[in-house]
Amino acid sequence: MILNKFTLCYECRRLEKQEVDRALEYLKAHRGATLNEVALATNVDPQLVLRLIRGGRMEVVAQDRLKKMADLALKGRKRPSGSK
């Protein structure tokens, strides 16, 4: 396995790109959709949607709304052992 600058193998990078494209297409058709709506409708991990927002590829309509949605999306996710 050869890793690129993204620290993902080429197959994983290709699959992630497909998810990104799917999420962006959904958002084009459903402007104003929440993080959860995008993640659920496209079957894309909410963490990936957050990375798109932070990277500037998706725009946040209201910052308070984003924080609330992110908290809901991540609620119930187990923390890795050893984290606080």
Residue 4 forms part of a structural domain: no
* CB neighbour list of residue 9: distance below 8 Å, 6 or more residues apart: 1, 2, 3
Instruction: State how many domains the chain has.
Output: 1
Residues 42-65 have a mean pLDDT of 78
Residue 69 forms part of a structural domain: yes
Among 34-38, 63-67, 70-74, 77-81, which is the least confidently predicted range? 77-81
As given in the structure block, the two tokens for residue 22 are 């799917």
Residue 83 forms part of a structural domain: no
Residue 79 forms part of a structural domain: no
- The structure tokens 């500037």 sit at 56
Note the pLDDT of residue 60.
65
Structural domain harbouring 22: 10-73
Buried b or exposed e, range 9-44, using 16+ CB within 10 angstroms? eeeeeeebeebbeebbebbeeeeebbbeebbeebeb
Rounded Cα distance between 53 and 26, Å, is 14
Residue 20 forms part of a structural domain: yes
